[in-house]
Amino acid sequence: MERPLPLNGIKVRQVPTNRLVQNVYFSGPEDGIPVVFLHGNFSAALYWEETMQALPARFRGIAIDLRGYGWTEDKPIDATRGMCDWSDDVAALMDALKIEKAHFVGWSMGAGVLYRIITDYPKLVLTATLICPVSPYGFGATKGLNGVPCYSDFAGSGGGVVNPVFVQRIAQGDRSADDPNSPRNVINAFYYVAPFRAGREEDFLTAALMEKTGPEAYPGDMTPSPNWPNVGPGVKGPVNCWSPKYLHSDAAGLLAVNPKPPILWIRGSHDLIVSDNSMFDLATLGKLGYIPGWPGDEIYPPQPMVSQTRAVFEKYGSYEEHVIDNTAHSPHIEKPDEFNRLFHAFLINHS
């Protein structure tokens, strides 16, 4: 798929590293203070271009197509390492660009990658801005503020929980709007609050459709489970990476870092993807009657994703939380002026 032309002031190049060749977007002066942007699932670095354009003059924007996404070299993901393939890739890019420290921004899944960067490469991180972040305990299959597994095999998380029709449509490069499962409609229904539509909808869709699909790519493989909903995580692909099976130490690792980089947490008031009642959590769908056999709140309640994140951050200490009203999973796209006021003040205060 042909890559859309970059916006004014944005440059794109392929950067070889000791792990893979990464597609990277750049903005601002080469000697500026680096700000590294990490996208979420079913998106790409291109989604950051307007945010990069708006950076204050003394900052250098760097947005990365993560492994498995966009126009970065296609290499498999070892999900048993959790987010570590991605965090190691980012560290390798920093080394290739000879950057010793940077501000980091992580959106959704990208925030999970950023948790690992803070944990494994704390000297790289000046600050962390988290937009609608995945819980430090992963996505699905846990309950309570401490991320207790609903079942010991983490049933209800991993590659088997993704709608196969959606995956098929990505593989086909579907650009239609004739079905709720079409990639275009999923973006518009869950990334934003209606009637908002992104001005660069076609470019965003093109970039998102570059996501690699298959049992070794998105969503990944799965294992059968005797526990509801009868599917457990596999060992390959991105959705298995954020199964709590492979993130059992991520929250503890984040809390053990010292000194702790300051965190800015920004989320949308109407986010249905990362939520205490996420419409992408099988427990929520089971409770609503869409998936039969749900065992009930005592055994398998909806994962309190936002509340889990807040509980971890309260122990972490150095954080601030902001909710942008009437936005969903992409407040930086839906209300860029409001987002940038918070974001730019945070960067300047810590630079």
Residue the block writes with tokens 């990658």: 113
Name the nearest CA neighbour of 351 among 266, 265, 262, 257. Answer: 262
Kindly tell me the burial class for residue 224, based on how many C-beta atoms sit within 10 Å of its own C-beta (0-12, 13-18, 19 or more): exposed
Return the SS3 of 308: helix
Q: Dig out the tokens for 238 from the structure.
A: 């991105």
Q: Dig out the tokens for 168 from the structure.
A: 């098929």
Structural domains in the chain, sorted by start: 10-148+242-349 (3.40.50.1820)
Q: Which residues contact 136 (CB under 8 A, 6 or more apart)?
A: 112, 115, 147, 247, 250, 251, 254, 308, 309, 312
Kindly tell me the burial class for residue 53, based on how many C-beta atoms sit within 10 Å of its own C-beta (0-12, 13-18, 19 or more): middle
Residue the block writes with tokens 């002066």: 29
What is the model's pLDDT at position 250? 86
Q: Which residues contact 102 (CB under 8 A, 6 or more apart)?
A: 33, 34, 35, 36, 62, 94, 124, 125, 126
Q: Dig out the tokens for 136 from the structure.
A: 């430090």
What is the model's pLDDT at position 108? 98
Would you give per-residue pLDDT tens digits along the chain (351 residues)?
789 999 999 999 999 999 999 999 999 999 999 999 999 999 999 999 999 999 999 999 999 999 999 999 999 999 999 999 999 999 999 999 999 999 999 999 999 999 999 999 999 999 999 999 999 999 999 999 999 999 999 999 999 999 999 999 999 999 999 999 999 999 999 999 999 999 999 999 999 999 999 989 999 999 999 999 999 999 999 999 999 999 978 899 999 999 999 999 999 999 999 999 999 999 999 999 999 999 999 999 999 999 999 999 999 999 999 999 999 999 999 999 999 999 999 999 999
What is the model's pLDDT at position 215? 85
CA distance 284 to 261: 33
Amino acid identity of residue 29, one-letter, is: P
Amino acid identity of residue 14, one-letter, is: Q
Say if residues 126 and 260 touch (Cβ distance below 8 Å): no
Q: Give exposure, 236-260, as e/b (b: 16+ Cβ within 10 Å).
A: bbbbbbbbbbbbbebbebbbeeeeb
Name the nearest CA neighbour of 248 among 122, 157, 320, 310. Answer: 157
Residue the block writes with tokens 């526990």: 227
> What are the C-alpha distances in Å from 298 to residues 140, 145, 225, 244, 301?
15, 14, 19, 19, 6
Q: Which residues pair with 148 in a beta bridge?
A: 143
* CB-CB neighbours of 285 under 10 Å: 17
